[in-house]
Amino acid sequence: MHDADASGLADAQKVADHLKIPLKTADLRKEFRETVVSDFLDCYARAKTPNPCIVCNPLVKFKALCHVADELGIEKIATGHYADVGNENGRYFIRAVKEKDQSYMLYRLTQEQLRRLMLPLANTTKEENRAKAEALGIPIFKKPDSQDICFIKGESYVDFIERELGKFPEGTFWLQDEDRPVGTHKGLIHYTVGQRKNLGIALGAPVYVSALDAESNRVYLSKTDVVGRKEVSFLAPVYQKLDPSVTEFEAYGKIRFAAKPSHCRVSVKEFAFTATFSDGQRAVTPGQSVVFYDEEGNVLCGGILE
């Protein structure tokens, strides 16, 4: 658990009590702070847009599940993620599912974590599971889905970051189309690549955030939507179904959780990882992840967009 988990812990206890099973908890506040929150803050300080769930899953959540399972002499672990697990040629991998697919969030799980993992909700729907929970009398069957960053409660992510790191300084809006300054922004933390609304600047035509530069403290703008980028680079690859010795392959890549997979060719040359998409990708955002799938929706590998 972490500091924002009081209500979740109470709900878990209600379910355990109802089912008459023991509830074992692990205090992960220190690990969560040092691993997930620290990375979250560091990324924003460097004008990148992180995904804390992707960091948390292998390094905190699933690591702790395996550790506690070992203490209890239990071989398998299970979570309520909407995805499936596959195993071919000695390699374990996540499979995408049709309903509420969360495979993107699980691409950094290790082979050992995947070997032990069971995902019982793989071929179910949220509605079916709520109905089953209601039929069993489970008291939280109507609990709404979580939509926000789990460790930020009662404030915006901007307020949280500036409370932790201090106020981000004002800087320059720079119009790339004309290579000139066009105004003052209120701090890099307030913007993300692809953003069009709530920029606080009027140039007589819509403009989009095309890039953020922490070194110059500039928010780059463009009158053209940030589409059409076909080549992206990524770091820190994690291999699932794909053997790590493969240096070139074709796949279907997603550059964000809600994106549709798009055909691409991936190459590795001297530790430089590059994906070339057949179609232009909108708002490629450093700090987010790119995840590659085969035609069957199996996770091949993925990495952090650079």
Q: Which of 43, 53, 66, 150 is catalytic?
A: 150
The answer to whether the predicted template modeling score (pTM) of the entire model surpasses 0.95 is no
Give the per-residue pLDDT at 1: 47
Respond yes or no: is residue 150 known to be catalytic. yes
Give the per-residue pLDDT at 139: 87
Is pLDDT at 145 greater than 80 in this prediction? no
Taking alpha carbons only, the member of 81, 66, 72, 68 closest to residue 111 is 66
Q: How far is CA 285 from each of CA 72, 252, 281, rounded to the nearest angstrom?
A: 41, 18, 10
Domain locations along the chain: 6-135, 169-222, 229-305
Q: Which of 56, 66, 264, 301 is catalytic?
A: 56
Tokens for 273, please give them.
């990882």
For 59-105, write each residue's pLDDT tens digit.
Answer: 999 999 999 999 999 999 999 999 999 999 999 999 999 989 999 99
The CATH architecture one would assign to domain 6-135 is 3-Layer(aba) Sandwich (3.40)
The CATH architecture one would assign to domain 229-305 is Beta Barrel (2.40)
State the burial class of residue 32 (Cβ atoms within 10 Å of its Cβ: 0-12, 13-18, 19+).
Answer: buried
The CATH architecture one would assign to domain 169-222 is Roll (2.30)
